[in-house]
Chains A and B, each alone.
Chain A
Amino acid sequence: MGVINETARDNQAPVARGAAIRRTDMRARGEPALWVLGGALALGIAMIAGFLALVAWNGVMTFIPKPIDVVTEIDGTVTAGEPFREELFRPTAEALAALTPDWQQRIAAADGYASRTLYRTGNFDIYGEDFRWIPDFNVTKRERPANFLFVERLEWGPFVGSIKSVTIDGMERPINSLDDPGFVAAHRASRERWKQANAIEKDDIGAINHQLEAARLELRGVQLNSGRDSAEYRQAQERLEAAAAVQRANYDKLAAQVEELRRLNDGNTVTFVAVGGEEKTEEMAHLVRFYPANALSLGGKLSVYFSRWGEFLGDEPREANTEGGVLPAIFGTAAMTLLMVIAVAPFGVITALYLREYAKQGRLVSIVRISVNNLAGVPSIVYGVFGLGFFAYALGGSIDALFYPERLPNPTFGTGGLLWSALTLALLTVPVVIVATEEALAAVPRSMREGSIACGASKWQTIRSIVLPRAMPGIMTGIILAMARGAGEVAPLMLVGVVKLAPELPVDGLFPFVHLERSFMHLGFHIYDVGFQSRNAEAGKPMVFVTTMLLISLIFVMNVVAIVIRNRLRRKFVGSQF
């Protein structure tokens, strides 16, 4: 606009001297400053793009099977492993001095930097390390032998090596290829039996233990109520003893079943040999997955890739959370977020209704409004502290004293748990819902309310049938944004109930089915835990990236859904405007 006027003049050369003075000075355009501003925006966009690309790339690539290199070094050391990543580093002076002049020159030419590769060697049980840096200048030979397998097993991390022999049902069998039907079937059967044994231990024996524990607690309750010498106590004791005897018999039966399954599995083993010649015999049941990394077809690669994804999304973690799946964490995140919404939605909406429709609009209400708005800016950790002190200790402690005296001193509700986490996050996100709902309510035209009242509707009828439906898109947006915020919060949860590994899900088949007092796993905390608390941060890193990608997509999807719902509802109400 301004520019256009000026250019128009620019084009009519030559101009009189007097006019030239009024011409726009180059400085008035502020071109250099403009470029810096634009650079700031570009940097912001580059940062997000880079960040998302980093997460997405690592998240998508993690599960792709990588080849196995067998590397021979100058000193004769042979290492086999997946090339994990490469980086530039500065070799020490001693290391440099030991090199050939050729390498010394090459490194000097690169300003003292040399490159090295991190190999995931696996075989932690044999070598005591998972990863190994090998500088390029030490490498004499690099091969990719076709018979090397990458084996994912239940313990000790992956194994890299080849098969020496296979034992099926206690008999050593010659195996020509990995696709040998007998071998495949035996492996599958072993895995099935292993899963079955685990299921028995976890579900059936778990149920028995649960009932025994319930009986113990009941007895203790009777003891607390009527004393140890009372008739009630003796009756309860006899009754529960009888029940427990039945349970114990069941237990023995199930334990025998598990024992039998395990015994069958003992006969199916594979003996592997690592690159250094060390042998390792593993039960087939403990082999989650193995593949010849260097002889994998595209189809084979894809199958490994998707089977890993399947395990990640649908299984429980293993190896201190650095491998396996995140199903409990997904479940925990979803359960907590859902509970939070159940708590936050009605209260947020009621508060907004009160502030907008019922309270007398005055100074006090506007102060309250500002404060509620500001509460959205209060750090989440403060809510966590409050949740721990108030919900878990004060409220939960009272609940324990009133309803679960027989379990004391072990806390039931008196410690962090799913319910307290959900309530803490509800408190944290209630300002978001209040603000969004208020805005939505304010956007409903006054004429509609007046029309409704004039037709004889009561105040509640007006709100229910006229105001709330119209405000629904805004309210929904608020609630979904609150969910997105709640799902991504970790700091308060660390105080009120999230754990690194929850043995039991908050929902199961045992009465009362939903256990709100249990602690739970959470995707965000999983990231923190695996990235920072695990034995080997390097081994956990790929897992963290995938979890990160999952969490970000979850939040991203929630944000998008919020926008879509808002738009759809908006469209729905466009026609009904009068």
Chain B
Amino acid sequence: MKTARSVIIIDKAADWIIRIGGIGVIVAVFGIMIFLAQVVVPLFTGASVEGSSAVKVAPGPRALMEVIDEYKVVSTSVDATGKVHAFHIATGTELEAPAFDLGGKEVSAFNRTLNGRDLAFGFTDGTLRLGTLKVGGVVVDNAQVPQGLKRLNDADFTDGKAIYTAISPEQMRVVSIAVELGEETQAAPAGTAIVAIDYRLGGTVERPTRSFITVDAAGIGRLSRTESRTNMLTGATTTTMTSSELPGLPANVHVHALLMTNNADQVYVAEETGNIYRYDTRSFAKPELAETVDLLPGDAAIGAIGFLIGEQSLVIGGSDGSVNVYFRLQRAEAKTSDGFQLVRAHTLEPHAGPVVAMDASQRGKLFVTADAGGDVWVRHSTSEQVVLKLAAKDAKIDTVALAPRENGVVAISADGQAHAWNIAVPHPETTLRTIFGKVWYEGYPEPDLTWQSSSGTDAFEPKLSLVPLIFGTLKATIYSLLFAIPIALGAAIYTSEFVHHRVRAVVKPTMELMASLPSVVLGFIAALILAPLVETWIAAIFCAFIVVPAGLFAGAYFWQLLPSNIALRYGGLPKFVLIFAALIATGFVAFALGPWFERIFFAGDLKAWSTGGHGDSAPFTAMLVFPFAFIVLFMSTQGMVGERFGHILRGENRTLAGLTDLGRWVVTLIAAGVLSYLAALALIIIGMDPRGGIVDTYVQRNTLVVGFAMGFAVIPIIYTISEDALNAVPEHLRAASLGCGATDWQTAIFVILPTAMSGVFSAIMVGMGRAVGETMIVVMAAGNTPLLEWNIFSGLRALSANIAVELPEAVRDSTLYRMLFLAALTLFVMTFAVNTFAELIRQRFRKRAAQL
């Protein structure tokens, strides 16, 4: 008989579908890790050069400055005669550009703002003029575009003066150049050349200010500020001027550059040898020389100097090739008049030859330096890395410019060559070191681990260290496991070994029900119900940590006083009900004792006490030491007087034996109390005060609350898995142990638990995995402050919570977006590793249990 064709076809089809589907799902699931990794990788791969070109532009006098427009279409440079040279970067086509009409005077000093818009020229006759150079793009409709444009490349056209770029079928963007030159001002005595200049515009629209600093050939520094005020009613403008001379400049000073900060409160006079005179110019009438420091020791001279964005960080490139970043920090040991000191924060990889030019980014801490050998390096100050090494072979570079969007570099050399590079530097601020190590951010007193991804201002630099987040995750996990493990394991052992199987059939599913509670519910209860309760009854909760175990112990010792037949008859469920009652009763006792407890242990006010200003920490330290003291004492007396007591305890009179045991417990308790208080005093003398460590300033949404809530989520997991492990220990082991005369307790502790140990351990690991990844509880109850402290009364920011809070707002493919993917990958790897480890242990346990 032949098998029907359809059967064979269906069989084959099912075979294929299931194989492909099955393998597909498995691949897809593992694809998650690969996808996450693929998003993260660009953080570390750094930058790339997407193309470069070298074009010949007309040679002229040395270029003073160079600037690239926002769209990286035109490079514009200004030379010492005021002529403006502009060329199309991609093709090198020169554009006709208006020039600054300097009236034939010779420029002896020049400076510009970071964006290259505002310029200042100083002349040999002691005058100065301000100018603006506008290289801007506007979008126009095709109808407004003049006819007869010359095509430059696929997108760009020119009419000889401007570049036209097609951005849509209907519209074009026009990039053109315009210049403006201000009036001549006599800044130095006539005939004395100005050798260095800087200026800043500030103030408000109604009251604009212009702040100048000049140094003339005689070595005199002049500071002046003009403030224009327009009278609203009359429309008349009054201009006031404040000026003064900089004190303390040596007569024969050779100034290389002058730098003034954004709000003109600091002035740096940089001598060619690397000496920096830093002036505190908060008062323009009376500037003070705050600090004189030689930043380039030896005979090296300054090759290039400039601010990074924000004008707090100073980059100095020396003739020895060194490139370092300095900023002003408040230091106790500073020997300066204002308490600040220039500190070398970043030492960057030096160039082989003298540094000749630099330019800083307008949007981040990226900058570019060029050396005499034609090497052009793109660097990032905070991450201290050289992002890209570009080379314009043997070019004598005059100026170098970084495109505003950090996507291009143009270097112009003395022989009229322009080297242009298209670059992509998506994530210069991240390296493994900045993510996991300490980073020295601008204005921070020292390198630090910080997570602060956003802020209000443009000059803000995101601080993306994962360490505080990983720390937060671990802190939440550890505190919650400290709460969960004892309860879950105790409950599991009790359920598995000491209750009737019918009780177990009720209790276990109830505990498992807890596992299916949505964590958002736990988070809500923790944050809105539990947190205020804990805050009110914090002392009572600490009190409960003592009173509840003590009450249970006491209950047990009194139980021992019962005659054995009664104890046996009611040893099952009634005893458990009694335990339950003891728990509730002691809970109420703790609640009632709360205020009293607070007086004794926390000097009457926990919040004031925990910050360290109020009261004594010996009682609390003693409370922490107490369990250890008790265990040590109990164990040692077990050995020392054990034989004696054993004799009595084994005696025929059960009540007497119970009383003896009770007495022993009470004595041990008192002894342990005394011992732990002495130990606490000793600990405090050697400086181990828990305040400032595990207890400190109290906030409402704190780790204690998170510990409770997350413990609540973790307990059922640890409980179920470890109970299963305990239950899986073969029955014959139990029977053998009992048969040899061991009690239930001895069997459980010395036979069952060691056998099931690996299973129990793996339960703890699985619970830990859940705690690490738990999101909603930490989002809602942890306060989300990225701190690096163990204080149980403070909040935390966990990896998972951070992702949930920040990812919805992160721009796709931005550094923050990729960092959050890295956080997710970290979580994935952490939990996957923990779970795999647990699984391996569990398998070993299963194998062993099967062999027994």
User: B-contacting residues of A (Cβ < 8 Å)?
Assistant: 1-7, 10-11, 13-15, 20-48, 51, 54-55, 87-89, 111-112, 227-228, 346-348, 350-355, 357-359, 368, 370-375, 377-386, 388-390, 393, 427, 430-431, 434, 456, 458-461, 463-464, 484-485, 487-491, 494-495, 524-525, 527-528, 531-532, 537, 541, 544, 548, 551-552, 555-556, 559
Return 17 A-B CB contacts under 8 Å, by A number: A26-B650, A27-B638, A38-B575, A40-B486, A47-B715, A54-B529, A353-B18, A371-B836, A374-B832, A377-B770, A377-B834, A381-B804, A382-B32, A386-B36, A390-B32, A487-B518, A491-B800
Q: Cα distance A377–B25 when bound, in Å?
A: 17
| B568 pairs with A488, CB closer than 8 A | no
| B828 pairs with A461, CB closer than 8 A | no
Instruction: Please tell me the number of chain B residues within 8 Å of chain A, measured between CB atoms.
Output: 126
| A430 pairs with B25, CB closer than 8 A | yes
| A35 pairs with B780, CB closer than 8 A | no
| A30 pairs with B22, CB closer than 8 A | no
Besides A3-B743, A389-B35, 6 more A-B contacts (Cβ < 8 Å) are: A25-B649, A35-B582, A38-B494, A351-B21, A385-B803, A555-B516
Q: Cα distance A346–B24 when bound, in Å?
A: 12
| A37 pairs with B493, CB closer than 8 A | yes
Q: Cα distance A85–B650 when bound, in Å?
A: 56
Known: A38-B498, A374-B832, A379-B772. A430 touches B15 (CB 8 A): no
The DSSP consensus for interface residues of chain A is: helix
Q: Cα distance A494–B519 when bound, in Å?
A: 14
The 5 residue pairs across chains A and B that have the minimum distance between CB atoms: A379-B773, A354-B22, A40-B490, A488-B518, A30-B745
Q: Cα distance A351–B26 when bound, in Å?
A: 7
Tell me which residues across on chain A come within 8 A of B140, comparing CB atoms.
none
Partner of A39, one of B489, B490, B824: B490
Tell me which residues across on chain A come within 8 A of B19, comparing CB atoms.
354, 358
- Of all chain A residues, the one with the shortest Cβ separation from B32 is A386
| B26 pairs with A377, CB closer than 8 A | no
User: A-contacting residues of B (Cβ < 8 Å)?
Assistant: 3, 7-8, 10-11, 14-15, 17-19, 21-23, 25-26, 28-30, 32, 35-36, 39, 169-170, 486-491, 493-495, 498-499, 507, 510-511, 513-514, 516-521, 523-525, 527-529, 536, 548-549, 552-553, 555-557, 559-560, 564-565, 568, 571, 575-576, 579-580, 582-584, 595, 638, 646, 649-652, 654, 657-658, 661, 665, 712, 715, 719, 738, 741-747, 749, 766, 769-770, 772-776, 779-780, 800, 803-804, 807-808, 812, 820-821, 824, 827-828, 831-832, 834-836, 839-840, 843
| B11 pairs with A458, CB closer than 8 A | yes
Known: A382-B32, A531-B528. A377 touches B831 (CB 8 A): yes
Q: Cα distance A216–B622 when bound, in Å?
A: 76
Q: Cα distance A20–B648 when bound, in Å?
A: 11
The DSSP consensus for interface residues of chain B is: helix
| A40 pairs with B836, CB closer than 8 A | no
Q: Cα distance A51–B519 when bound, in Å?
A: 13
- Of all chain A residues, the one with the shortest Cβ separation from B524 is A531
Partner of A548, one of B3, B524, B773, B840: B524
Q: Cα distance A490–B499 when bound, in Å?
A: 37
Known: A39-B552, A389-B39. A20 touches B827 (CB 8 A): no
Tell me which residues across on chain B come within 8 A of A47, comparing CB atoms.
514, 712, 715
| A39 pairs with B583, CB closer than 8 A | yes
| A36 pairs with B549, CB closer than 8 A | yes
CB distance from B326 to the nearest CB of A (A): 39
| A20 pairs with B652, CB closer than 8 A | yes
CB distance from B550 to the nearest CB of A (A): 10
Q: Cα distance A111–B529 when bound, in Å?
A: 23
| A44 pairs with B488, CB closer than 8 A | yes
Tell me which residues across on chain B come within 8 A of A89, comparing CB atoms.
536
Tell me which residues across on chain B come within 8 A of A537, comparing CB atoms.
528
CB distance from B799 to the nearest CB of A (A): 8
Q: Cα distance A40–B652 when bound, in Å?
A: 32
Known: A14-B652, A531-B527. A379 touches B827 (CB 8 A): yes
| B743 pairs with A382, CB closer than 8 A | no
| B26 pairs with A41, CB closer than 8 A | no
Known: A42-B580, A390-B35, A460-B11. A548 touches B557 (CB 8 A): no
Q: Cα distance A47–B517 when bound, in Å?
A: 13
| A381 pairs with B800, CB closer than 8 A | yes
Tell me which residues across on chain A come within 8 A of B654, comparing CB atoms.
10
CB distance from B514 to the nearest CB of A (A): 5
Q: Cα distance A469–B30 when bound, in Å?
A: 30
| B29 pairs with A430, CB closer than 8 A | yes
| B738 pairs with A1, CB closer than 8 A | yes
- Of all chain B residues, the one with the shortest Cβ separation from A484 is B516
| B525 pairs with A51, CB closer than 8 A | yes
CB distance from A357 to the nearest CB of B (A): 8
| B836 pairs with A370, CB closer than 8 A | yes
CB distance from B768 to the nearest CB of A (A): 10
| A378 pairs with B831, CB closer than 8 A | yes
CB distance from A455 to the nearest CB of B (A): 13
Q: Cα distance A5–B742 when bound, in Å?
A: 10
Greatest chain A CB density within 10 A among B30, B487, B584 is at B487
Q: Cα distance A326–B738 when bound, in Å?
A: 58
| B745 pairs with A33, CB closer than 8 A | yes
| B576 pairs with A459, CB closer than 8 A | no
